[in-house]
Amino acid sequence: MPCDDLMMTEKQYAISEVSELTGVNTVTLRAWQRRYGLLNPKRTPKGHRVYNDDDVNQIKTILTWLDKGVSIGKVKPLLSQPVVELADNETLEGFDSVVANIEAFNKAKLEKQLIQLLKEYPLTLLHKQLLTPLDTHFEQQALPLTSVNYAFWLATLNEVLIGTTHQIKAKSNQQVLVLGLDEKPNYAVALQGLKHKQQGKRVIVLEQFSLDRHGISAVDAMVKQAGVSQVVLVADTALKAKSVSDLQHWLPEFEQVGRYELVGAIAEIHPMLLSSSSEQVASESQ
């Protein structure tokens, strides 16, 4: 059967559709193809990538190996083998190298490393195998420079996340508002901004946003003015009683025109803010 006829009979997916199906952003999918030869999608006459179900299954197999701690550069020879029963690895293979660059305050190397990791790995896996273990690593250290090392790491991470977000062009008119409600900086805010920008959405990110100072009316006005259809609330600390009360009244109203997510400990601290539609999202976020 000619290739063109075969492409007409099999189910086809654009790269954006594959990204939605697998949770792997389009930049990473291209890197897996170009740099590592892990994927080989067909092309349309205009040169656009076309994926099929075999490609989708291949991506899921790649993710399985990555989740077990195999680095992306070592995955290709494993794809022809059955996925063996290995314990999921808790840290990325490059974890020690990242720690070394943090402790040496080597910003240039750390930035380069982070930019490369963001291209090669899905955000969910980076959060699980790099960001969370780094939080734990520095929490357990009691050295004189530990707090300074961690501050340096957070500042560099935030800069890279924001810079990467700005480089991505939005491909839809869907507007997302990410509100960081903690008084202290929280990299999860920038991480959420990048996550939604990778999905092609337009993103407004406000960190250390005080509901107590600005009021829910300001949020409502901003949402309407900017045409926001999705709100992401990020917090790991308890909100003041009035802020919780205001959100309890406003979020159901907003759900009439949009949807919202709770990211971080806020969902456990204030479960009354969860709705039937937001509960699953809250548990899967980050």
Residues 234 and 263 in one domain: yes
173, two tokens: 């008119």
pLDDT score of 284: 44
Domain span including residue 133: 95-165
Q: What is the pLDDT of residue 63?
A: 95
Domain boundary among 165, 193, 211: 165
Residues 111, 147: one domain? Answer: yes
Helix axes 146-167, 132-140, angle to 10 degrees: 160
Cα–Cα distance list, 27 to 32, 59, 262 (Å): 9, 14, 26
Query: Domain for residue 83, yes or no?
Result: no
Output the six-digit token pair for 114: 């982070």
Mean pLDDT, the chain, rounded, equals: 90
- 11: which residues sit within 8 A by CB, 6+ positions away? 52, 53
* Average pLDDT of span 124-150: 92
Given this model, what pLDDT does residue 85 score?
Answer: 64
pLDDT level of residue 3 (50, 70, 90 thresholds)? very low
What mean pLDDT comes out for the span 50-72? 93
The model's confidence at residue 6, banded by pLDDT at 50, 70 and 90, is very low
| Contacts of 189 by beta carbon, 8 Å cutoff, 6+ apart | 178, 180, 205, 207, 234
Q: Does residue 155 fall inside a structural domain?
A: yes
Average of pLDDT values for 171-191?
Answer: 95
Give residue 283's pLDDT: 42
Assign 9 a pLDDT band (cuts: 50, 70, 90). low
Residue 279 — very low, low, confident or very high, per pLDDT cuts 50/70/90? very low
CATH number of the domain within which 266 lies: 3.40.50.280
d(CA 146, CA 137) in angstroms, rounded, equals 10
Mean pLDDT of 69-75: 91
Indicate whether 90 belongs to any domain.
Answer: no
Q: Of 71-85, 89-103, 162-176, 188-202, which gets the smallest average pLDDT?
A: 71-85
Q: Please give the share of the chain, as a percent, with pLDDT higher than 90.
A: 80
Residue 209, pLDDT > 70, answer: yes
**Domain final residue, candidates 12, 47, 78:** 78
Contact 238, 268 (CB under 8 A): no
- My answer on whether 123 and 220 are in the same domain is no
Residue 280 has pLDDT above 50, yes or no: no
User: Which one of 78, 104, 127 terminates a domain?
Assistant: 78
Q: Are residues 266 and 182 in the same domain?
A: yes
Q: What local confidence, expressed as pLDDT, does residue 143 receive? A: 80
For residues 51 and 131, state if they share a domain.
no
User: In this model, does residue 88 exceed pLDDT 90?
Assistant: no
Task: Kindly compute the dihedral angle of the four CA atoms of residues 255, 165, 283, 136, in this order, to the nearest 10 degrees.
Answer: -150
Out of 2-16, 68-82, 180-194, give the one with best mean pLDDT. Answer: 180-194
Taking only the tens place, the pLDDT of each residue in 239-276 is: 999 999 999 999 999 999 999 999 999 999 999 999 75
Number of structural domains in the chain: 3
